[in-house]
Amino acid sequence: MKKAFILFSVFLLLLGSCSAVNADINLTEEDRNVLLDMLAEADEENRLYMVLPEDFQIPATGLDGEYRLLILGIDTDRDDLGGRSDTMILAVLNTRLKTLKLVSFMRDLYVKIPGRGHNKLNAAYAFGGANLVMKTIEENFGITVDGYLSINFSLMVNLVDAIGGVELFVEEYELKPLNGILGYFNYLRGVPEEFGMLSASGSRILTGLQAMSYARIRKTDSDFDRVVRQQKVIKAIYMQLNQSSFSQLADAVTAFIPRVGTDVTMSDVLSLLTETMRIDNVSIDTLSIPVKGAFASKLINKTYFLVPNLKRNISAINEFLYNQTAMQIVD
């Protein structure tokens, strides 16, 4: 699993070098190729030598060894990143405890958006981009985010294809809606609607379009089940990275870089890369917010919302991430 951490960090490194709002350094294509070659050699020999920035002091993971990355899936099929954040997953990487924890926030959560009153959580991105989403999560749930990645669904297709697909278990009841969504996107692309449709359920290696269709199933059960499927896709991508060759990684980066939004800086990514090189194995756990029994479904101004019990959900998050109850409640 060490290799998966390395590749995960390389993704951040290359994304940060080309897309970060506050990036410290820009790498040329030649620089990126040299870096990948160096990482390939390091992976074989189980060692890596990195020259950190001169002003490097505290690692990106801080004194507690933790980095909190907010992954935002934007509900648009265009190449831009405008719209609402259909998917909001906080990936908490702890290099000291060797854990990766995924906290999904439901898009219909009724929360206070700074400067915008109360609305659905996914409206925060449309109002003020990733920065406002991060502020909203912090003010409502007490979580400070270290950085973000914004991607749209078509980008996920490119990423999954570039790493050779991902393994997922498709339930029988998920087969029809998955194929229906896939057929719709085939129609939009001008290809036969039945192209790539799954013929049977079970454990399958899904292409990018199949995985995206799986993640977008929403009418078969509930939004809660949909969030679980999104978490499964993220975990499957992470696991596949552990099996990917560096040539596949290079292809993935080529597809990934031009269409991602991030504020992860070069200094932070270099620090993360150095820290993750020390990790041998990692456990992956998931949580969905609101938790069961800690919300109410309500119609407010003719709109459906999930109204969370903030105290109970904050406690659930703290218990999940830190094995402790909330010390402070957000009003």
Residues whose CB falls within 8 Å of the CB of residue 137, separated by 6 or more in sequence, listed in order: 70, 88, 90, 105, 121, 143, 145
What local confidence, expressed as pLDDT, does residue 23 receive?
37
Chain-centre distance for alpha carbon 178 = 21
Looking at the domain assignment, is residue 246 inside a domain?
no
Instruction: Say if residue 52 is in the same domain as residue 177.
Output: no
Q: Are 144 and 188 found together in one domain? A: no
- Helix (H), strand (E) at residue 137: helix 123-141
Q: How do residues 227-279 score in pLDDT, each as one tens digit?
A: 888 889 888 887 887 676 666 666 666 656 656 777 776 667 666 666 665 66
Q: Which residues of 43-58 are buried (b: 16+ CB within 10 A; e: fewer)?
A: beeeebeeeeeeeeee
Do 99 and 11 fall within a single domain? yes
Give pLDDT, residue 128: 92
Q: Where in the sequence is the domain holding 74, given as residue range(s)?
A: 2-152+260-322
Phi, psi (rounded to 5 degrees) for 200: -150, 155
Residue 47's pLDDT is: 42
For 15-35, write each residue's pLDDT tens digit: 443 443 333 334 455 545 545
Q: Please tell me whether residues 143 and 216 are part of one structural domain.
A: no
The tens digit of pLDDT for each residue in 87-124 reads 888 989 888 888 888 899 998 999 999 999 999 999 99
118-164 pLDDT tens trace: 999 999 998 998 999 999 999 999 999 998 888 777 777 888 888 88
The full length of the chain comes to: 331
